[in-house]
Every structure is written in structure tokens, then in C-alpha cells.
């Protein structure tokens, strides 16, 4: 039939593709002018804005369709500072510089070279620079140095160093397989860090469309591109990897300090299905003296998967249950999905329709997708009115004592061919309507914002906890992230290390995988080794899927149970140290769990070290990650390292063979430094009455400074001074160890009234000296 229409002379697919591959270069600079902290370049084929945020952060915005739009970011929380920008023209090049960063803009054609103040190249454009395509794609080409190593990109499979990879950002529900080439996953963090010979810089591509980062096609250049929108990116000058993370989180925000209970051990299962089962679970933890802070309720607690309901046959009195558990020192975190069941008799659905809160097509029809409850509608979180409404729904939970929520399926996941909402759905976007194609990647992020803000309002000064599966850059401001549906494979335990480390380098410190593995059946040895790692992973939750073997810490009996108890308790013994690091994360954006390169950026051996990690700057963990293995090679970076289990010292800048039976996780502390620990008491009594500072003597004449931070762990009272912050210095010399209180802040009164000093490795003729005093005496 179509043969008879003009379709017969349609230009054919092949021809069209060829045409589509033509990129339009921005072209020559025709004119440029200063605009406040920035500059506007009118080029032949596009306009480019350059805007300085700090001396080390500069933003580039190329708009093919007109004047660059500078106020469209969904996530950036920083505004440009008042700065002195020096401007200089040398031949064909305009130079713009602060005291940290230099931009060299070549005029014909427009090409950008960015160096630091000493001339070290950060980003360099060569034959190609910024360009776009007829179909709306925007792209940029940058030269790749032979020594460049790449990190970040959020939640990606594969190794730590991302050179040679190609990644897409498009939040996707991937149940299986999570293979090295599985991409994309649930989170989109269009950001990376480049490390070259010890110095680092970063790029944050602030574009919510589907984006692609290609470090694979060539060894001499890389590209990043987006399906639409502007080419809007920030250059972070470093120069240390830590500085890049601080700059990135200056833009996208920092994680709020989590409640201490959220940093404890979580037990989950898809699903604990009845009140009775939950009660029994809690009691077993208490009886077995295995620490537990949270039990998660997965989708079966609801009435037919309707969010904001309980199935009262299975949970007749949730309020009572939550109170009982709370008295046992355990909190309940229920799952909340975005899909609202299409059911004319269900209040949430009624309200959503009657108040016009669901995602719709431009023609006015509600978008329906199939998820757990069957046909469902999806709240339009891009609108403030909807976010407020959704947040307010959570009084359903907070009224009965719930302080934490688990957001799942918020990519949003839909059971259909594309796995998500139609990209033509038209979002309200706070008055600036646009399609799902543009806002897909921030749907989960905005659900998180709605939920976190709602909880915060309802909890009367208590800190909320939110766990999310999907997110975008900046998600750390609202939620912890778990890495989705992994499997009970050793390979997935291995993969979780670089994944969590790269999430940490991407500004998201509070993350972790399902310990033990979600799908597939776990086994005693695997879950023991995984629990050992979990004890030091920022987010620590054991979770497993329906139909798999139960994997609570006692399910594998005798020795396995004992070892898991030991390591879950260890988490609590280390809590003062870990909590201090969370405090650092909330103030500086630095991760709790770190790849070694963050602490030793000049040591090439650390650049792709996937199976070891640091907790803070002085503790290194080298777990066993394979079955039947009890020996492994451990690379020790600079310094001397004391193995906690044996007390043996190992020389740095060498690889050693370490022995670790099933009950041992190899942990090393750097000599000349200190750690803070408390003791495990019981589930009901988690607030420490004893505090110890362990100093590892040695590393002569070097001083080590660190911060010990504590507060009530539960409220926002710390914002008004109710905290304890001690800056301590440890100096080791041939005479012994000196501990100095350098600074003390805050008025929080902990249960412990002193800090017991314990020095490890002191020689007979050496002494311990304490300088300065604090209101918490060091004895």
C-alpha cells in the first residue's frame, strides 16, 4: 500500500544514518564578551559560555541552539564565587586564568586547552573539539595522555581503572547478569577523575539525557556526549585526587551525617513475610548476641503491593511490632516503590488522579506501566507539588515510629521491552515541561529528594535514613545507595570492591552491595568472606532473593556463625573510627572506603589495585575473595604496616604473602598512626561507655593528625554544638609516643568520660606522654 505513496521515494535508512553521523563543529569565534564571572563566545555554529565557580572549578556550556542556559541544573548546589579572572590575548589565543587554572581558547576554530597554573595539561582539544549533530546530540573530544588513568563514573562493573571502557548513563533495572560488560546499571553519575603521574583532575558532565563516555575507541583521545541538551560540563582542577572529590561535592553536595544505627548491621530478605517471622528474626539476633540495627521489610508487607499500606493479615499490628523491636535496639525500614496501583478504591491512587500528580503524556493520558502491583501510575517527582505530596504520604510510616525508607524500582523500572517509562511522557518539571527522555536519569534522584525531605520534616529533629537503588549525581544528599541485584558468586564479591570504591570517588560515600549475594544460593564460606568485607564496607546489609537459601548469619551453623558474629561485632567495635570517617564524608565529601590511590596517588602500583582498600588514611584491608584460599599477596604501600591479627609488621612498597584462615580478615594499620575503638555491649545498649585509642608506635619522628568525632548519633543537635570533636596528634620518636590534643570543639557529653590510651609496639625504654587536655581525659 505504501508503495503508492511518497513513501516509495523515502531516502532509505542507510543514507539517513550517514547524514546523521555528520558532526557540526562549533566553528570560529566571531565575537566574545565578558559577563560577570564568565565569558560568552559567539561562534559560527554555536555559543559557548565559560563561567568560573572557584579558582579551581570552571564550567563550559555549549548550546547549539542559542544562548547558553546557565540556570537549568537539576543538581548543582554551588553558585559562582566572586573571583578575579585575568584575561590576556596572545595571537590567536585568549587566555583566561585564576591563580589555579588557565584556559587557553584558540579562536579559529574554537578549541579549548585547560592547564593548571604551572602549565600541566588538564584537558586538551586537538583536531576535534565541541560539536553537535542534527538529531540533538552534543559531544566533545579530548586528548588522552598515555599515562591517564580514569576513575569514578559511579556504579559501574569492571575494574577500578576505567581506561579502555565505554560507559552509558541511563538508569536501568538489571536483574541479571551484572557481568563485566553489563552497562548501564541503576545509577547515573556522569563524572570522572583522571589521574596522571600522581596529579588528578575531574570532569562533571551536568546533562541528564542519556550520556556516553568513550575511553575505548582510541588510545589518544576520549569523548563524552549526550543525546540532547547542552554540552554543559565542569572542570575540576585538583591537583590531588582528594581535592577533585572535594571540588565535585562542592558542586553536587555532601552526604548528610547518617544516624549511627544506619551505619550498623542491616538484615534483609525478599521477603520476611509476617510479623511473627520478623519478631522471631529479631529475637534470634538477640539470643545469639549478633548485633543488629535494622530489619528491612520487602514488598510482601504491603496489601497487594500498594505503597503506604500494610497487609493486616500478615502484619496485624505494625505499630506494636515496631515499638517492640525498637526496645530491642532494632529499627524497621520498609520498601517503597514509585509505582502506585491502578485501583479506584485505593486512596493513594485516588489522590494521585484527583489531584493530578501522576506522569502523563502530552495529550493528557496518564502513563501506566506494569510493575509489582500490576498496572500502575507513577508520581511525577519533577514537580515540587508532587514531591511535597509524596513526602507527606510518609506520615503513614513515621507516625508508627519508622525512621528509614528503602526506595526500589525508581529508575523507574517497568516490566516492558524498554524496561522503563516511555521517553515521550511529558514531565511537569516545575513549570518547564519536558520529556522523560531528558529527565529519566533524575527520576530516582527526585523521588529521593521528595522522600528524604518528607521524612526530615516528620521526624522532629531525628535524622532520617534513606536507601535507594536509582540516582543521579548528587544523590548522596538524600540517600545511601546499594548496588542492586548481584548474585551469590565469588566474582560478585570481587566486583563489589572496585564498584563501591568508584562510587566513593564519585561523591557517594554511603554504599555497599547485598552481602552474601542477592540472587542464587550463597554458601557458608562465601558469606563468611563477604561478611568480613561487609564489616568494613560503608553500607552493611545482608539481603537475598525469594527462592534462594536463607542467609542470616546463623544459617550455616557452627564455625560459620561464630565467625560472622565476630565480624558483625567488629563493625561495632570499629564504630567510633567509622563514624568519624562518616563525619569527614559529610563535611568534605571524601569516601569512607577508599582505593589506595586516594592516599598514595604517586604510587603506580595502586592505580588499578582492585582487591585491597583503605578505611580512612591509615587502615588497609586485604580480604580473601576466592574459595578455598587462605593465602594471598598483599601490596603494602609506603610506610610500615602492622597486621592486627598477628601483630607482625610489614615493610611498605613491597608485596607480601599473607596467611588468613577462614576466621581471619587481614587488616593492617600504618605504624605511627592511631585508631579509635569501643567495645561491643549488646543490641539494646549500643551507645559506648568505653572509648579506646590504639596507637601503633613506630614511624619515627613523623606526626599523624586525625579527628575523633562523636555525637548522639540520632538527632540534628550536632548542628547546634552538641558534638565532640577532638583533633589529635600522635608523634613517635626514639623516646616513645606523644599524644597531643591539638583542638577541641563541641559540647556533647558522651557516656564515656575518658579515652583509654593503648600503645602497641612500645620498646622497653620508651615512654608515653600526653600533651594538652580535653574535657574527655586521655588516660
| Least gap, CB of 665 to ligand MIG (angstroms) | 25
Q: Is position 301 an interface residue for ligand MIG (rule: CB under 6 A)?
A: no
Contact 691, 754 (CB under 8 A): yes
Least distance between ligand MIG and beta carbon 544 (Å): 8
Residue 536 has, within 13 A of its CA and on its CB side, a CA count of: 21
Residue-wise DSSP of 718-730? GGGT-EEEEEEEE
Give the separation between CA 456 and CA 596, rounded to whole angstroms: 35
What is the x/- site pattern for ligand MIG, positions 114-153, by CB under 6 A? ----------------------------------------
CA distance 474 to 26: 30
The DSSP H or E segment spanning 515 is strand 514-515
Catalytic status, residue 408: yes
- Which of 185, 206, 74, 204 minimizes the C-alpha distance to 507? 204
Out of 26, 299, 724, 732, the residue judged to bind ligand MIG by CB under 6 A: 299
CB 194 within 8 A of CB 150: yes
3-state helix, strand, coil in the chain (%, to 5): 25, 30, 45
Q: CA 649 to CA 614: how far, in whole Å?
A: 17
CA distance 73 to 773: 48
Q: Give the C-alpha separation, 533 to 517, whole Å.
A: 13
In the bound state with ligand MIG, the residue whose beta carbon lies nearer, of 266 and 394, is 266
Query: Using CB atoms, what's the residue nearest to ligand MIG?
Result: 270
Nearer to ligand MIG, 209 or 397 (CB): 397
Show Cβ contacts of residue 411 under 8 Å, excluding neighbours closer than 6 positions: 171, 172, 173, 186, 419, 420, 440, 443, 444, 469, 470
Contacts of ligand MIG in 534-553 (CB under 6 A)? 543
Asked if 298 interacts with ligand MIG (CB under 6 A), we say yes
Marked catalytic residue, from 173, 411, 552, 643: 411
Query: What's the min distance (Å) between Cβ of 269 and ligand MIG?
Result: 8
Q: Does 643 bind ligand MIG (CB under 6 A)?
A: no
116 an active-site residue? no
Number of alpha helices (DSSP H) and beta strands (DSSP E) in the chain: 15, 51
Among positions 24-63, residues that touch ligand MIG (CB under 6 A) are none
**Is residue 178 near ligand MIG by the rule CB under 6 A?**
no
Nearer to ligand MIG, 517 or 589 (CB): 517
Based on CB atoms, which residue is closest to ligand MIG, 246 or 411? 411
- Helix or strand holding residue 465 (H, E): strand 465-468
Residue of 485, 584, 617, 640 with catalytic role? 485
Task: Considering the complex, state which of residue 235 and residue 413 has its C-beta at the smaller distance from ligand MIG.
Answer: 413
411 is catalytic: yes
What's the rounded Cα separation, in Å, for the pair 411 and 391? 18
| 442 neighbors 208 (Cβ within 8 angstroms) | yes
* Burial 101-134, CB ≥16 within 10 A → b, else e: bbbbbbbebbbbbbbbeeebebbbbeebbbbbbe
Span 664-693, contacts to ligand MIG by CB under 6 A: none
Which residue number, 110 or 518, has a Cβ lying nearer to ligand MIG? Answer: 518
Query: CB 303 → ligand MIG: shortest distance, Å?
Result: 15
682 CB burial (10 A radius; 0-12, 13-18, 19+):
exposed
CB of 493 vs ligand MIG, minimal distance in Å: 17
Q: Note whether 270 binds ligand MIG by CB under 6 A.
A: yes
User: Which listed residue (165, 337, 408, 584) is catalytic?
Assistant: 408
Find the shortest distance in angstroms from Cβ 175 to ligand MIG. Answer: 6
Between residues 493 and 621, which has the closer beta carbon with respect to ligand MIG?
Answer: 493
Contact between residue 404 and residue 465 where contact means Cβ atoms under 8 Å apart: yes
Least CB distance to ligand MIG at residue 449 (A): 20
Q: Which is nearer to ligand MIG, 275 or 411 (CB)?
A: 411
Phi and psi at residue 306, to the nearest 5°: -85, 120
Q: Does 335 bind ligand MIG (CB under 6 A)?
A: yes
**Contact status, residue 506 vs residue 479, Cβ threshold 8 Å:** no
Strands across the sheet with 703-711, in order? 703-711, 723-733, 736-745, 767-771
Q: In whole angstroms, give the CA distance from residue 523 to residue 544.
A: 12
Q: Is 408 in the site for ligand MIG (CB under 6 A)?
A: yes
For ligand MIG, give the closer residue by CB, 175 or 550. Answer: 175
Give the total of residues touching ligand MIG (CB under 6 A).
11
184 prior amide bond cis, ω within 30: yes
Contact status, residue 605 vs residue 599, Cβ threshold 8 Å? no
- Sign, CA dihedral 343-344-350-356, equals positive
The CB-of-696 to ligand MIG minimum distance in angstroms stands at 39
User: Least distance in Å: CB of 298 to ligand MIG?
Assistant: 5
Minimum CB separation from ligand MIG for residue 514, in Å? 7
Footprint (CB under 6 A) of ligand MIG, residues 421-480: 469
- Angle of helix 524-534 versus helix 490-505 axis, rounded to 10: 10
| Minimum CB distance to ligand MIG, residue 484 (Å) | 5
Q: Closer CB to ligand MIG, residue 283 or residue 418?
A: 418
Residue choice 485, 599, 640, 643 for contact with ligand MIG (CB under 6 A): 485
Closer residue to ligand MIG (CB): 12 or 547: 547
The count of C-alpha atoms lying within 13 angstroms of the C-alpha of 298, restricted to the half-sphere facing its C-beta, is 17
Catalytically active residues, by annotation: 408, 411, 485
The residue ranges that bind ligand MIG (CB under 6 A) are 175, 270, 298-299, 335, 408-409, 469, 484-485, 543
Amino acid at each position: 500500500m505504501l508503495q503508492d505513496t511518497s513513501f516509495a521515494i523515502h531516502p532509505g535508512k542507510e543514507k539517513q544514518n550517514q547524514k546523521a553521523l555528520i558532526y557540526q563543529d562549533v566553528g570560529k569565534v566571531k565575537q566574545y564578551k565578558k559577563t560577570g564571572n564568565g565569558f560568552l563566545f559567539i561562534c559560527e555554529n554555536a555559543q559557548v559560555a565559560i563561567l568560573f565557580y572557584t579558582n579551581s572549578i570552571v564550567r563550559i556550556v555549549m548550546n547549539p541552539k542559542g544562548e547558553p542556559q546557565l540556570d537549568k541544573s537539576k543538581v548543582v548546589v554551588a553558585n559562582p564565587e566572586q573571583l578575579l579572572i585575568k584575561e590576556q590575548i596572545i595571537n590567536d589565543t585568549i587566555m583566561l586564568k585564576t591563580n589555579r587554572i588557565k584556559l587557553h581558547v584558540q579562536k579559529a576554530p574554537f578549541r579549548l586547552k585547560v592547564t593548571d597554573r604551572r602549565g600541566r595539561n588538564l584537558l586538551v582539544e586537538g583536531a576535534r573539539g565541541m560539536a553537535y549533530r542534527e538529531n540533538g546530540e552534543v559531544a566533545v573530544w579530548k586528548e588522552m595522555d598515555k599515562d591517564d588513568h580514569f576513575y569514578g563514573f559511579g556504579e559501574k562493573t569492571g575494574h577500578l581503572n576505567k581506561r579502555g571502557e565505554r560507559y552509558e548513563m541511563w538508569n536501568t533495572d538489571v536483574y541479571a547478569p551484572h557481568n563485566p560488560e553489563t552497562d548501564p546499571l541503576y545509577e547515573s553519575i556522569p563524572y570522572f577523575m583522571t589521574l596522571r603521574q600522581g596529579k588528578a583532575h575531574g570532569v562533571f558532565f551536568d546533562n541528564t539525557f542519556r550520556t556516553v563516555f568513550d575511553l575505548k575507541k582510541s588510545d589518544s583521545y576520549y569523548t563524552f556526549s549526550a543525546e540532547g541538551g547542552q554540552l554543559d560540563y565542569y572542570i575540576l582542577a585538583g591537583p590531588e585526587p582528594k581535592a577533585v572529590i572535594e571540588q565535585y561535592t562542592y558542586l553536587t553536595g555532601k552526604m548528610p551525617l547518617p544516624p549511627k544505627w544506619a551505619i550498623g548491621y542491616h538484615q534483609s530478605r525478599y521477603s520476611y513475610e509476617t510479623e511473627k517471622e520478623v519478631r522471631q528474626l529479631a529475637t534470634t539476633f538477640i539470643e545469639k548476641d549478633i548485633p543488629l540495627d535494622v530489619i528491612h521489610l520487602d514488598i510482601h508487607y504491603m496489601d497487594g503491593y500498594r505503597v503506604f499500606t500494610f497487609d493486616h493479615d500478615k502484619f496485624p499490628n505494625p505499630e506494636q511490632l515496631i515499638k517492640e523491636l525498637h526496645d530491642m535496639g532494632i529499627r524497621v525500614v520498609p520498601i517503597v516503590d514509585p509505582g502506585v496501583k491502578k485501583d479506584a478504591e485505593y486512596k493513594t491512587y485516588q489522590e494521585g488522579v484527583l489531584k493530578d500528580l501522576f506522569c502523563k503524556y502530552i495529550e493528557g493520558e496518564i502513563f501506566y506501566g506494569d510493575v509489582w502491583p500490576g498496572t500502575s501510575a507513577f508520581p511525577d517527582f519533577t514537580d515540587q507539588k508532587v514531591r511535597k505530596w509524596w513526602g507527606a504520604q510518609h506520615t503513614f510510616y513515621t507516625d508508627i515510629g519508622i525512621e528509614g525508607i528503602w526506595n526500589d524500582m525508581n529508575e523507574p523500572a517497568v516490566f516492558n521491552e524498554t524496561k522503563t517509562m516511555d521517553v515521550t511522557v511529558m514531565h511537569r518539571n516545575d513549570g518547564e515541561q519536558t520529556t522523560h527522555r531528558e529527565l529519566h536519569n533524575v527520576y530516582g534522584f527526585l523521588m529521593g529528594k521528595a522522600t528524604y525531605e518528607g521524612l526530615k520534616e516528620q521526624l522532629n529533629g531525628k535524622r532520617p535514613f534513606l536507601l535507594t537503588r536509582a540516582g543521579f549525581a548528587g544523590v548522596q544528599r538524600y540517600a545511601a545507595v546499594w548496588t542492586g541485584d548481584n548474585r551469590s558468586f565469588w566474582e560478585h564479591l570481587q566486583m563489589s570492591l572496585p564498584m563501591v570504591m568508584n562510587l566513593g570517588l564519585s561523591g557517594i560515600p554511603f554504599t555497599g552491595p547485598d552481602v552474601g549475594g542477592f540472587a542464587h544460593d550463597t554458601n557458608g564460606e562465601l558469606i563468611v568472606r563477604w561478611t568480613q568485607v561487609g564489616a568494613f564496607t560503608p553500607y552493611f546489609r545482608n539481603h537475598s532473593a525469594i527462592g534462594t537459601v536463607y542467609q542470616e548469619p546463623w544459617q550455616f551453623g557452627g564455625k560459620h556463625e561464630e565467625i560472622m558474629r565476630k565480624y558483625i561485632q567488629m563493625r561495632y567495635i570499629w564504630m567510633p573510627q567509622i563514624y568519624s570517617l562518616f563525619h569527614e564524608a559529610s563535611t568534605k565529601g571524601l569516601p569512607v572506603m577508599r582505593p589506595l590511590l586516594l592516599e598514595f596517588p604517586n604510587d603506580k602500583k595502586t592505580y588499578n589495585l582492585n582487591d585491597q582498600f583503605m578505611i580512612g588514611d591509615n587502615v588497609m584491608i586485604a580480604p580473601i575473595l576466592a574459595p578455598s584460599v587462605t593465602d594471598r599477596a598483599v601490596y603494602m604501600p609506603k610506610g610500615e604496616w602492622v597486621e592486627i591479627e598477628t601483630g607482625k609488621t610489614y615493610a611498605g612498597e613491597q608485596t607480601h604473602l599473607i596467611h588468613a584462615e577462614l576466621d581471619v580478615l587481614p587488616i593492617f594499620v600504618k605504624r605511627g598512626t592511631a585508631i579509635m575503638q569501643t567495645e561491643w555491649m549488646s543490641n539494646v545498649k549500643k551507645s559506648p561507655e568505653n572509648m579506646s585509642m590504639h596507637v601503633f608506635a613506630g614511624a619515627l619522628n613523623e606526626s599523624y593528625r586525625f579527628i575523633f568525632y562523636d555525637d548522639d548519633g540520632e538527632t540534628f543537635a550536632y548542628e547546634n554544638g552538641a558534638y565532640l570533636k577532638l583533633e589529635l596528634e600522635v608523634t613517635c620518636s626514639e623516646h616513645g609516643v606523644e599524644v597531643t590534643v591539638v583542638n577541641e570543639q563541641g559540647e556533647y557529653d558522651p557516656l564515656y568520660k575518658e579515652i583509654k590510651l593503648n600503645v602497641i609496639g612500645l620498646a622497653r625504654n620508651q615512654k608515653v606522654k600526653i600533651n594538652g587536655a580535653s574535657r574527655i581525659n586521655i588516660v
